[in-house]
Amino acid sequence: MAQTQEINIPVADPSDPYANPAAMPSSADRAPRSFDIEAFAKPDRKQEDWRYTPIERIEEFFNVFEPSNETQVTVSMIDGSPLAEGVTYAEGTVGDTGTGIVSKPNDRVSAVEWNSGKRAGILTIDGEIDQPVLVKMHGTGRDLDAFHLSIIAADRAHADVVVEHDGDARLAEGVEITTGKDSHISTTFIQEWNKDSKHVGNQRIHVGEEASLRHSVVTLGGDVVRIRMDQDFGGEQGDLNMLGIYFVDPDEHIEHRTMVVHNHPECKSRVVYK
């Protein structure tokens, strides 16, 4: 298994927990992080992170399963042309180098995705890329499937990445985003699933020293779509801008959850979800 890096969360002074805002106690301090499924209890409405989620509609994602591997993944530039110089994409297996490098799973469904998934895509970016990279994930059925995507930007890289989801699916998805020092990256995740699709996703994000990341999530369809984003900084003067929006039809459940950890000084974040 690839080497993992731990988030360094400052410990608050119990006698004055608000003296250092970056060390204020939060769910990030209390929650386990592990590749072991048994480190996490099965979700229920009594747990803070799951109190708004219709648990009974996503129970199939709470235990390890055999993935169908039917989700179609294609990667190109946004205009359909082959990948530009400086952009590479390779598909392998979960646990390969380039996966498991941003902390560890932080809830049961993300640990299930890690232990169930067979396929992992690794997108690497180096240099200044003129047009956006498009990762298109198309669901071809409702058999349970899992996919893991790592987006790795080198130091001083400049690029935009768009990840589109559509079709019919029941997908457990893991995403890791790593930005190098002084890189400037934009990522946009679009969920436009057909009506009966289910998508449970977990995104772990590491913003490098003096780097900026604009991270956007747009969900427009699906029976149940629940995406959790967890982020930390890799050095001083990191800049994170998180934007999210969703449109919900009757009987649909759309849920975006964010967690930002200011574990280095002189970093800033802005989170706006509608």
pLDDT in tens, the chain (274 residues): 445 555 555 565 655 544 555 555 555 566 788 999 999 999 999 998 999 999 999 999 999 999 999 999 999 999 999 999 999 999 999 999 999 999 899 999 999 999 999 999 999 999 999 999 999 999 999 999 999 999 999 999 999 999 999 999 999 999 999 999 999 999 999 999 999 999 999 999 999 999 999 999 999 999 999 999 999 999 999 999 999 999 999 999 999 999 998 889 999 999 999 8
Judge whether 15 and 255 are in contact, CB under 8 Å.
no
Rounded Cα distance, 157 and 85, in Å: 12
Among 123, 107, 245, 234, smallest CA distance to 176 is for 123
pLDDT at 5: 55
Burial of 1 (0-12, 13-18, 19+ CB in 10 A): exposed
pLDDT at 31: 74
pLDDT at 176: 98
φ, ψ (nearest 5 deg) of residue 109: -65, -35
pLDDT at 19: 55
**Separation in Å, CA 185 to CA 147, 155, 178, 179, 261:** 22, 11, 10, 7, 19
Residues 6 or more apart whose Cβ sits within 8 Å of residue 140: 70, 71, 72, 167, 168, 169
Judge whether 211 and 184 are in contact, CB under 8 Å.
yes
Token code pair at residue 62? 């709470």
